[in-house]
Chains A and B, each alone.
Chain A
Amino acid sequence: MNDGIAVSARFDRGLVSEGGDSIRYLYVELNAAPADAEAETMASSPLNLALVIDSSRSMVGERLHAALQAAADIIEGLDASDFISIVSFSDTALVHARGISCDAEGKQKAFDALRTICLRAGTNISEGWFSGAECVGTVMLDHSNCKNHVLMLSDGHANQGTLEPAALVLHATELQKRGVTASAVGVGEGYSTAQLYAIAQHGGGRIHHATHPPEIVEVVLGELDDLRARTVENLVVKISFPETATLKSLNIIPCQVEADHARCVFGGMSAGSSRAAVFRVGTNAGNMDELVELRIEVSWRNCGQPLLMRAPVCKASLVYANLEKNAMQAIDSATAFSISKSWQSWIVWQATNLNRLKDWTRLERMLSRELKYFRRFCRTVPGAIILLNELEELNKVSHYDWGETSRKEIQTSTYTTSYNIKDSRSGSRKWQDYTGEFKARC
C-alpha cells in the first residue's frame, strides 16, 4: 500500500520562555512516497491536456514559432490514451482542437489544428485559460481517470477579461478543487508575474520562465515530464495554532494565514519528491512545562482518483521553560539549516517583488526586519553564515533597479529552490549570480 504523503513538523528549538516574546521557526516537510507499483499506476494515468497559446501580436516571429514547435513536440510525446486540446487567445479565445484522442489520426488532427493559429490583437489570458479548462472539463465527462491539466503560454499582461490576480487566484483554486490543474510558461520580460503566478501557483501546477524563445521548448517539455511523473495533486496543508501563539508564513508557496490557522497550497508532487514550508512562530507568556501545540493536517488526491486522502494529524509542540533552561537549549542544526535555506529564498523573492514595484521604503523596511532575524538565527546554525552573506550582498544593491529580465530570473531561481524542483532550462542561473552583476552596474 502506498502511504501517499509522509508529514513531519519540527521546530528549530523546542523550548520557549515562560515570560513570552519567544520566536521559533517551524519546519513542515512533506515527502511523497517513493516510486512503487501503485505510484507508477498513478503516474501513468492518461493526460487530459489543454495547451493554451498566447496569439497576441507581441508573440510575432520567433516566440510564436517556438511555442508552436513546443506544442508539436508535446503532441508527439503524448500516448494514444492521452487527450489534447489546443486553444489560442488574443482579445478572444479560439478552440482549435477539443479533447482529441492522441492516436496517430488524432495527432495528425492536432498538428493540423496548430497550423490554424494566427496572430491577433489583445491579450485575454483568462478567456484562453477558461476555454482550455472547458475543453479539459468536456473530456472529464467521459474519462474520469485522467490527469486534467491546462498549460498556459504567454508573453504579456492581460488587458482584457479577468485582470485582478486575486480573482485569478479564486478561479485557479476552484478549478483545482474540481480536478483541473494549471501551469504557466512566461516568455520574455513582458509577462505579468502576478497574473501567471496566480494561475499556476493556486492552480496546483508550476510556473516556468523562458527568457529566450528556444527555452520555450525546453520548459514545455520539462512540464510534460513533470506532469507524467506527478502522483499527487491538490496537496493542501492546514496548520492550526492556539491563541497563545502567532504564526507568519515565510514561504513562496501560497499560504493564507488566518487568526487560528494557516492554509498552504502545495499543488502536485511526484513519487519520491519532497516539499517544505517554514513559519515564524511567536509565543505569549505561559506557565512552566505547558505546551504550545500546533496541529498539521495534510490532504491531497492521488492522480486519477477522486477520493480526498489525509495523512494522520501531525503535531509540533513548544514547551514553556524558565529563562535559564530556555537560554541553554540546543538547536536542531539540520532543521535550522533547512529553515534558513527556505527562508532565504522567501526574502529574496519578496525583495524582488518590491524592487519591481520600486517601493524602496517597503523594500528597505522588509530587508532590515528580516535580516535582523536572519542574522540572529544564523549565528547558531552551522553553514548558514554563507546564506547570510549572500543576503547581505543583495541588501547592498537592493535600492537599484535590477531590470525585469534579471528579476524574472531571480524569482525563477528562488521559486525552484523553494519548491525543490528543477529548472528545465539548460542555461538557468542562480539568483546569487546576479548580485555581482548588479554591484558592477551600480
Chain B
Amino acid sequence: MLTSSYSIEELADESGFDKRVIRSFIEQGLLSGPDSKGRYARYTQGHLIRLKAIRLLRDQRQMSLGEIRAAFLSMTEEDINALSSVPLPPPKSEQKSSVLDYLRAARPQVVDEDAILFGEPTMGPSPQRMSPVEKLLQVLQEDEGGKRPSVHGKAQIWQRFSVTPDIEISVRGLQDGGQVEQWERISACLREILLGGSKNE
C-alpha cells in the first residue's frame, strides 16, 4: 500500500514542478497550503492532483495562471481529478532524453561511434548529424571567430526581424537604418540555412 502524504521535495518529484514554483502556486491561491507547518510539512494526494491539473491546463491548453485560478473556481473536485488523470508527458527530470542531456552537459566531448569505422574516436557530433539550429550555431560561431556575441543592448526599443513563421529575432540598440538592413540580411541568411538551400551545405 502506498502513502498519500508527501513532503515538498516528494511533491516536486511527483509533479515535475520545482519546490519554489509549488510555493508560488500556494501564494497565488492556486493551491492550498500544506496540512502541517514547519520541517515536517506534509502535502496530500489532493495537492498532487491539483498540480497535475495545473500542468495540463498550463502546458497543454496554454492557459495563464490567472485563467487556471478562475477555472478552478468553477470546477468540482471530480472535474479537477479527471483533468489530473489525462496522460501527460513525464516531467522534465524524467524525460527519456534526460540521460543524454545530462551526459552532454557532464562531459565536454562526445565520442562518436563512427570512430570504430575510422580507427580513431571522432570528438563532437559530425556535421551530417547536426540539426539545422546546431549548424546555424556552428556557422555563426565560425563567422565570429569563436567569440561569444554580447547579449547586453543599451537601448530600450526592440526591433523584430522575422526569420521563419516560427522564429524571429529581436534586437535592441540599433542606431540607424544601415544596422537594420544588416539584420534583415542576417535574417535572410538564417532563413536560407534553416529552410534549406544554404550555401554552407
Q: Does A179 belong to the interface (CB within 8 Å)?
A: yes
Pairwise interchain contact B116-A116, C-beta atoms closer than 8 A:
yes
A136-B59 Cα distance, complex, nearest whole Å:
29
Q: Does A41 belong to the interface (CB within 8 Å)?
A: no
**Count class of interface residues, chain B:** 20 to 34
On chain B, the residues within 8 Å of A180 by CB distance are 99
A130-B107 Cα distance, complex, nearest whole Å:
8
Which 3 pairs of residues, A with B, have the shortest CB-CB distance?
A: A137-B99, A95-B113, A137-B100
Q: Does A133 belong to the interface (CB within 8 Å)?
A: yes
Q: Does B13 belong to the interface (CB within 8 Å)?
A: yes
Q: Does B111 belong to the interface (CB within 8 Å)?
A: yes
**Cross-interface CB contact of B93 among A92, A138, A171, A177, cutoff 8 Å:** A177
A174-B113 Cα distance, complex, nearest whole Å:
24
**Cross-interface CB contact of A141 among B2, B93, B96, B121, cutoff 8 Å:** B96
Closest Cβ of chain A: how far from B95's Cβ, in Å? 9
Pairwise interchain contact A94-B115, C-beta atoms closer than 8 A:
yes
The number of residues on chain A lying at the interface, defined by a beta carbon within 8 Å of a beta carbon of chain B, is 43
A180-B103 Cα distance, complex, nearest whole Å:
11
On chain A, the residues within 8 Å of B115 by CB distance are 94-95
**Cross-interface CB contact of A92 among B3, B10, B39, B121, cutoff 8 Å:** B121
List which A87-107 residues lie within 8 A (CB) of chain B. 92-96, 98
Closest Cβ of chain B: how far from A315's Cβ, in Å? 11
On chain B, the residues within 8 Å of A127 by CB distance are 107, 111
Known: A92-B121, A95-B116, A178-B102. Is A240-B40 also a contact (CB below 8 A)? yes
On chain B, the residues within 8 Å of A137 by CB distance are 96-97, 99-100, 103
Closest Cβ of chain B: how far from A372's Cβ, in Å? 34
Given A1-B1, A178-B98, 5 more pairs with CB closer than 8 A: A94-B111, A134-B99, A134-B100, A137-B99, A178-B94
Q: Does A3 belong to the interface (CB within 8 Å)?
A: yes
Q: Does A312 belong to the interface (CB within 8 Å)?
A: yes
List which A1-52 residues lie within 8 A (CB) of chain B. 1, 3-4
A104-B94 Cα distance, complex, nearest whole Å:
32
Known: A95-B115, A96-B116, A127-B111. Is A310-B10 also a contact (CB below 8 A)? yes
Pairwise interchain contact A260-B102, C-beta atoms closer than 8 A:
no
Pairwise interchain contact B99-A175, C-beta atoms closer than 8 A:
yes
A178-B13 Cα distance, complex, nearest whole Å:
12
Q: Does B81 belong to the interface (CB within 8 Å)?
A: no
Q: Does B106 belong to the interface (CB within 8 Å)?
A: yes
A310-323 Cβ-contact flags toward B at 8 Å (1 or 0): 11110000000000
A180-B94 Cα distance, complex, nearest whole Å:
12
A65-86 Cβ-contact flags toward B at 8 Å (1 or 0): 0000000000000000000000
B1-13 Cβ-contact flags toward A at 8 Å (1 or 0): 1110111001001
List which A291-340 residues lie within 8 A (CB) of chain B. 295, 297, 299, 306, 308-313
**Cross-interface CB contact of B10 among A113, A141, A299, cutoff 8 Å:** A299
Known: A94-B116, A127-B111. Is A306-B100 also a contact (CB below 8 A)? no
Pairwise interchain contact B102-A309, C-beta atoms closer than 8 A:
no
Q: Does B90 belong to the interface (CB within 8 Å)?
A: yes
Pairwise interchain contact A92-B102, C-beta atoms closer than 8 A:
no
- CB-nearest residue of chain A to B13: A308
Closest Cβ of chain A: how far from B1's Cβ, in Å? 6
Pairwise interchain contact B121-A93, C-beta atoms closer than 8 A:
yes
A295-B39 Cα distance, complex, nearest whole Å:
12
Pairwise interchain contact B111-A131, C-beta atoms closer than 8 A:
yes
Known: A93-B121, A309-B2, A312-B3. Is A138-B10 also a contact (CB below 8 A)? no
List which B52-109 residues lie within 8 A (CB) of chain A. 90, 93-94, 96-100, 102-103, 106-107
Pairwise interchain contact B14-A134, C-beta atoms closer than 8 A:
no
Closest Cβ of chain B: how far from A4's Cβ, in Å? 8
Pairwise interchain contact A141-B97, C-beta atoms closer than 8 A:
yes
Pairwise interchain contact B2-A133, C-beta atoms closer than 8 A:
no
On chain A, the residues within 8 Å of B90 by CB distance are 306
On chain B, the residues within 8 Å of A96 by CB distance are 116
Pairwise interchain contact B103-A130, C-beta atoms closer than 8 A:
yes
Pairwise interchain contact B99-A179, C-beta atoms closer than 8 A:
yes
Q: Does B186 belong to the interface (CB within 8 Å)?
A: no
Closest Cβ of chain B: how far from A120's Cβ, in Å? 11
Known: A133-B99, A306-B90. Is A171-B106 also a contact (CB below 8 A)? yes
